[in-house]
Amino acid sequence: GLSESAYNTACTIIGLENVLDGREGFTAAFLHDRGRARDPNFYYLTVFGDPGASSGWGWRFGGHHISVNYTIAGNDVRYQPLFFGANPASYPVGRQLMRPLADEMDLGRSLLNALNGEQQKEAILSPAAPEDMVTANRPRFGAGNRPPPQWQLMRGIPEELHRPMVARIARFAEHLG
């Protein structure tokens, strides 16, 4: 499963559904018959196959801002895709500012800010984030909703940025148990 740190982050992200629901005025009742669009109870665990079976099995935990997927075959464990998102990205708690994905966001921004102008043009896929996930839980990509290959973003990165890139990757890997 998740590391202790990742579990705590996941719980915080799930709790943000209440904050987001409040910011939307508790009125965005779409997709659900329960009177709320944003609800921490709209996260689900799914088990595929027979746990412990040598032929393979898996589990998925997910909802609006989390997707954790594990596939197990014998002693071989795969844990992707993994997605943690936060909306809002920050919010006040007393005098403090809560930022559940602060390390990830700060590392990403520092990497982007370390690029020169040409590299930034290549690295920035769009000047604005999409309104929602590109695939929006559709089983297939439709015309115009396929992101460019990620390997292209790694071309020409100066050696001095390798360490921050590895640090960012390591931070995401810490979420795994």
Residue-wise pLDDT for 50-80, tens only, equals 998 788 999 999 988 999 999 999 889 988 8
Question: Do 11 and 66 reside in the same domain of the chain?
Answer: yes
Instruction: Find the domain containing 131 and state its range.
Output: 102-177
Closest CA to 93 of 19, 21, 22, 23: 19
Question: Do 32 and 62 reside in the same domain of the chain?
Answer: yes
Question: Do 90 and 109 reside in the same domain of the chain?
Answer: no
Question: Do 94 and 107 reside in the same domain of the chain?
Answer: no
Question: Do 4 and 91 reside in the same domain of the chain?
Answer: yes
Question: Do 52 and 119 reside in the same domain of the chain?
Answer: no
Tokens read off for 155: 């071309």
Phi/psi-derived region of residue 52, left when phi > 0, alpha when psi is between -120 and 50, beta in every other case: left
Question: Do 22 and 86 reside in the same domain of the chain?
Answer: yes
3-state secondary structure (DSSP) of residue 9? helix
pLDDT tens-digit profile, the chain (177 residues):
788 888 999 999 999 998 988 888 766 555 555 666 788 888 999 999 999 878 899 999 998 899 999 999 988 998 888 889 998 999 999 999 999 999 888 888 888 888 888 888 877 877 877 666 655 555 565 666 565 555 555 666 777 777 777 777 777 677 665
Q: Could you tell me which residues come within 8 angstroms of residue 7 by beta carbon, excluding any fewer than 6 positions away?
A: 1
Q: What is the DSSP letter of 161?
A: G
* Residue where a domain stops, chosen among 66, 82, 100: 100
Predicted local confidence at residue 140, as pLDDT: 63
pLDDT digits (tens, 9 = 90+) for 28-57: 555 555 666 788 888 999 999 999 878 899
Q: Could you tell me which residues come within 8 angstroms of residue 12 by beta carbon, excluding any fewer than 6 positions away?
A: 86, 98, 100
- The domain total for the chain is 2
